[in-house]
A and B are shown apart, each in its own frame.
Chain A
Amino acid sequence: MKKKIISIILNDLTKFFSLSTIFSLLIIYIYFSYKNIRFDLTSDKRYTLSSSSIKTIKSINDPVNFKIFLSGELPPGMKYLKSEINRIMIDIKDHNKKNIKYEFVDLDNLSDNEKNLFIDKLISKNIKLYVFNNSLNSPI
């Protein structure tokens, strides 16, 4: 039985419907998903950077480091948000590779001291903090 399957699969390799086409398509898929080639068809170009923001990004001469506090144990909706933000950050970085850096920071990984300092800093800037009690996750 096993020999039969293997011989059938090996005989097919040069045909169109075969494992070789599937694998070559998989490689093309990985290539395109890595390159992230996409066409934004929305009328207001919701998913692409506007020309004015590209201009501002290109005009940055000093190093800018983005710290995005969106990492760690996230609920699924937030994971989706994170992947979308990641995509936008890749777009931004493409226009100014030299100066723009970004990282996703997990608040739970910071020590208590650092965390409290950070929260104080946010409060001093008039940013309200809300703590979500997720049954799976520990609150900040």
Chain B
Amino acid sequence: MYTIFKKEINVFFDSLYGIIIFSIFFLINGLFIWIFPSSNIFQYGISSLEIFFDVVPYIFILFISSITMKIISEERSLGTFEILLSQPISYKEIILAKFLSCWFLSIFLIFLTFPYWITIYYLSNPLGSIDNIIILNSYIGLILLVGAMNSIGIFFSSIFQNQIISFLSSCFIFYLLYEGIDMINFYDSINLIDSFIDHFTFSYHYSNFTKGIFQISSLIYFIIVMITFFYFSLVNLRINLK
């Protein structure tokens, strides 16, 4: 299991692919947070990383689907998945290793935004007047959100052998889960129990974390999404390959 984990991370860092993903991620983030006039921190005038945590899920919708799109579908279309199966490891270990490597990479991406925190700390006036615990809590929320997204991305990668289709479908599902379901609230003709729909969306649970609330049910929600899609991809591989 560890060898697959190491291999996935090596593939990412050894090739141009990883460098491009890293550089574009930081370029987009930096532009949104420090330069673009509608959303930069200087015009916002409040020393918090709220803007960063509002923007970054949308960026991750694209980036996580591009990290996970090839993870299983490439191996299946090239036929190397059969070689992997001939080794003495189970399906569970294969998917777990791939899931953990993707999650590790996304956490690494998040971890490298740490300088923003330091910058905000020194920009604030009086020095250090930022709510560190809220930012820490938001980082925990972001890591959980990213884990749930990775699990869904791997599921779609295991369904489709074509990378583009797995990319597009996981993008769509991320958006649907992040914000799309919430749009039902805009229609008054659909009378659902208020805030019932909220429990299905990422944005509701994630916004709890960014507001500075640690809600146990939100933590469990992300774990449920992770385990559910992990299990779905496990079942899917067993059906198609046995």
A residues with a Cβ closer than 8 A to B are: 1, 4-5, 8-9, 12, 17-19, 21-22, 25-26, 28-29, 32-33, 36-43, 46-47, 73, 76, 79, 82-83, 86, 136-137
Known contacts A5-B235, A5-B239, A18-B231; is A33 also within 8 Å of B217 by CB? yes
Interface string of B200-242 (1 = CB under 8 A from A): 0000000010011111110011011001101100110011000
**A41 surroundings in chain B (CB, below 8 A):** 133-134, 137, 212-214
Whether, in the assembled complex, B185 has its beta carbon less than 8 Å from a beta carbon of chain A, the answer is: yes
Q: List 22 A-B contacts (CB under 8 A).
A: A1-B239, A9-B235, A12-B235, A19-B231, A22-B227, A22-B228, A25-B224, A26-B224, A32-B215, A33-B199, A37-B216, A38-B213, A38-B216, A39-B213, A40-B213, A41-B213, A42-B211, A43-B133, A47-B213, A83-B195, A83-B198, A86-B195
Answer whether residue B194 sits at the interface, using C-beta atoms and an 8 A cutoff.
Answer: yes
Indicate if the CB atoms of A17 and B214 lie closer than 8 Å: no
* B interface residue numbers (CB < 8 A to A): 92, 131, 133-134, 137, 182, 185-186, 188, 194-195, 198-199, 208, 211-217, 220-221, 223-224, 227-228, 230-231, 234-235, 238-239
Q: Decide if A17 touches B227 in the complex (CB within 8 Å).
A: yes
A137 to B132, CA, bound (A): 42
In the complex, what distance in Å separates the CA atom of A33 from the CA atom of B131? 26
**B234 in complex: contacting residue of A17, A26, A28, A73, CB < 8 Å:** A17
